[in-house]
Amino acid sequence: MGARADFPNTSSEVLAVITAAERSRKYVWTAGRVLIETALVGNWKELDHKQRKVVLRHITKLLNGLVAKGSLVRRPDLQSIGFGREKAFDFILVSLDAN
């Protein structure tokens, strides 16, 4: 990806963020939402425009990977939560460790 190492680098890291956040509230997931939930928006804003796009594309790719794994479902319409119009996803994974 060529960006800083503190951004999520794997779909497992993104899924951990989603799972933790979904405990308290239901979200529409976008790359921007992942940045918000990981408290990395400030780091992202420090990047130049080209690097910002690379980070957003990378996180979107990880989100698409979670669709392939059955953890997310893609929304048909683009969403905007302050990072432009982005692909959006809903969390559908049911916890297997519910006690």
- What does the pLDDT look like over 6-43, one tens digit per residue? 888 888 888 888 888 888 788 889 998 998 888 888 88
CA distance 29 to 65: 13
Q: Cβ-count burial of 66 within 10 angstroms (0-12 exposed, 13-18 middle, 19+ buried)?
A: buried
pLDDT, average across residues 89-96: 72
- What does the pLDDT look like over 33-81, one tens digit per residue? 998 888 888 888 889 999 999 999 999 999 999 999 889 999 999 888 7
Confidence grade of residue 5 (pLDDT, cut at 50, 70, 90): low
Element (DSSP H or E) covering residue 25: none
- Tell me what pLDDT residue 3 has: 47
Encoded tokens for 72: 């997310």
- Tell me what pLDDT residue 74 has: 94
